[in-house]
Amino acid sequence: AFLDLTGPTEFEGVWKATATLPCAYVPAEDFVQQTLTWSVVHDQGSGTVFRRDVSGDHVLLAEYRGRVSAFKDIPGNVSLHILNLEISDRGIYTCKVTWRAKNNSQIVKEISTKVNVVKVAVTKPIIMVSELGLTVPPGARTSLTCVASGSPPISYRWFRSTLGGQALLLSSQAELAWDSVQPSDAGRYYCEAQNR
């Protein structure tokens, strides 16, 4: 139908992941989008999450700052993008659009989506294996990076095997870097990934 908003009545997002709440309409020549607001009602109360008007885009609720944006590049697509979904984000989200017609009259439409946030089945980290063995000229900058899939947050540790078979802890970062690698750095290194 004419300038009707479309989107799901229910939406399930994954905790700590990125979610896109769909809201869209088919643009009509004689109608110009004036404002877009996304509001929420949840346990912590209610309020306007996001507003787009002639002055630009505004995120109005502090807990969403730096985490939400609305689509801009596709005419009629006003879906809301939420980064790093929190359990507290669940609630009823309303997408509301106001258009102005050539005769200056206004049309307002809105749709609501119930959002649930689920914690996915917890999975152990699995380290993605890159090529084994690395040959580097002396004095070069180089690094080893550990990447694992699994439930966040994931912590990393890098070790070096010593002659006595002991493991020497070198770093608690995902990346182990050398500014100037020396022949004495040659050896066997391994990484450990851990989550809750």
Domains of the chain listed by start with CATH number: 5-118 (2.60.40.10), 126-195 (2.60.40.10)
| Terminal C-alpha separation, the chain | 49
pLDDT tens digits, 26-79 = 998 889 999 999 999 998 789 999 999 999 999 999 999 999 999 988 889 999
Amino acid at 62: A
Residue with tokens 């990346």: 175
Q: Are 102 and 124 in contact (CB under 8 A)?
A: no
Name the pLDDT band for 128 (thresholds 50, 70, 90).
confident
The fraction of the chain above a pLDDT of 90, given in percent, is: 66
Looking at per-residue pLDDT, the higher value among 162 and 50 belongs to 50
Amino acid at 175: E
Give CA–CA dist 117/85, Å, rounded: 7
Q: Are 23 and 78 in contact (CB under 8 A)?
A: yes
Specify the pLDDT at position 121. Answer: 65
Give CA–CA dist 49/57, Å, rounded: 11
